[in-house]
Amino acid sequence: MDKIHYKGWDILPTALPTTAGQWTASCDIARMDADGLQVFEGVTMQFVRPTEEEAISAACDEAIRQIDNIIANPLARLA
């Protein structure tokens, strides 16, 4: 899946099939700033769902929450 743009950030989802016939997905987020491209890897946990679309949707929803948290508190750092 391509990146998703949200409030000046890029959400970069990754989805893979599992051996149990389901899908697992997670997201990284990235943004350009004065220092260049900042990529925060592994921002979301792995979401396992029956379909690729459902797994990506769950991971992207979590990435959106993470971006909103960063915007609300810019001094907070991602763990």
- Domain regions of the chain by residue span: 4-72
Rounded CA gap, 33 and 40, in Å? 13
The per-residue pLDDT for 43 is 84
Indicate yes or no: pTM above 0.75: yes
For the chain, strand residue ranges (E) read 4-6, 9-17, 23-33, 36-40, 47-49
CA dihedral 15, 61, 27, 21 (to 10 degrees): -20
Strand partners, 47: 25
The per-residue pLDDT for 77 is 59
The per-residue pLDDT for 34 is 87
**What is the per-residue pLDDT across 23-79, written as a single tens digit (0 to 9) for each?**
999 999 999 888 899 888 888 999 999 999 999 999 999 999 999 998 898 776 554
Give yes or no for a contact between 29 and 11, defined as CB atoms under 8 angstroms apart: yes
**The two structure tokens encoding residue 44:** 């979301």
The per-residue pLDDT for 2 is 85
Rounded CA gap, 70 and 42, in Å? 15
Strand partners, 38: 31
The per-residue pLDDT for 20 is 93
